[in-house]
Structure 1
């Protein structure tokens, strides 16, 4: 017969694995996303991938040909940065609602390459399985040793 605490633990672990699945699915979806930004004058369009890397740059019309090189470069940089900022916001918004509380990581880790989903969940499981009060666990271990020695 299972105890209520065991049932609660099983339910918590099931929810944890379900959350892990939701995060993996969101990550896979995000990896397919691209974000484009077009300047107000529609002259420059910058497209970035889910890691905010520039994947495409389009110059429309012919006005850019008469611009000073520094001005054109500045406008391109501005368009690329706007696309990157928009992509970062989209990703952050998508994952913020999935972020477990007290997970030990910052949401930005997911986007800068320092995020390890499996390690995060393994740590959560380890913490869930650990005694709530380490002092009590030590006392119980000592009591068990004493019982074993006395037999």
Structure 2
């Protein structure tokens, strides 16, 4: 890897930071728009939560739920909401993999760099490779 001039290196780092920010913005939008709906095993009700796990809707399917004792219905709602939140959390974590995908390689870069310049060049290289993948090109 050739040594970059200070201005070129700074421009590369800004570009990499812009890429990370754009990815973070996409993940944030996805989380804000996401919703997860889960139906209980007996299909008495379904619970919908938003991307942050907040309860947004409870739907009762028919009126069979009326035969449950109040405490049993409450437990069913809580358990179904918990399952929906866990599903939402899995979706969010899968979405953030895009943002954090190169963190392991970044750790390798930090461990093997012999100087600060090599570390910065390695970071820029990872960011450039991520940019290439995002644009559908293969990184060289």
TM-score by length of 1: 0.60
> Structure 2, unaligned stretches of length 5 or more?
105-115, 117-140
1:51 aligns with 2:16: no
CA shift, 1:27, in A, is: 0.8
2:47–2:84 Cα contact (<8 Å) kept: yes
Q: Which has the higher contact order (CA 8 A, sep 6+)?
A: 2
CA shift, 1:77, in A, is: 0.6
2:96 maps to which residue?
A: 95
CA–CA distance in structure 2, aligned partners of residues 14 and 81 of structure 1 = 40
Aligned-residue RMSD, C-alpha: 2.3
SS in 1 for 2:72: helix
Q: How does 1:122-137 map to 2 (within 5 A)?
A: 132=116
CA shift, 1:87, in A, is: 0.5
CA–CA distance in structure 2, aligned partners of residues 22 and 51 of structure 1 = 18
CA shift, 1:62, in A, is: 1.9
CA shift, 1:61, in A, is: 1.7
> Structure 1, unaligned stretches of length 5 or more?
103-131, 133-151
CA shift, 1:34, in A, is: 1.1
TM-score by length of 2: 0.65
Aligned residues: 103
SS in 2 for 1:51: coil
1:137 maps to which residue?
A: none
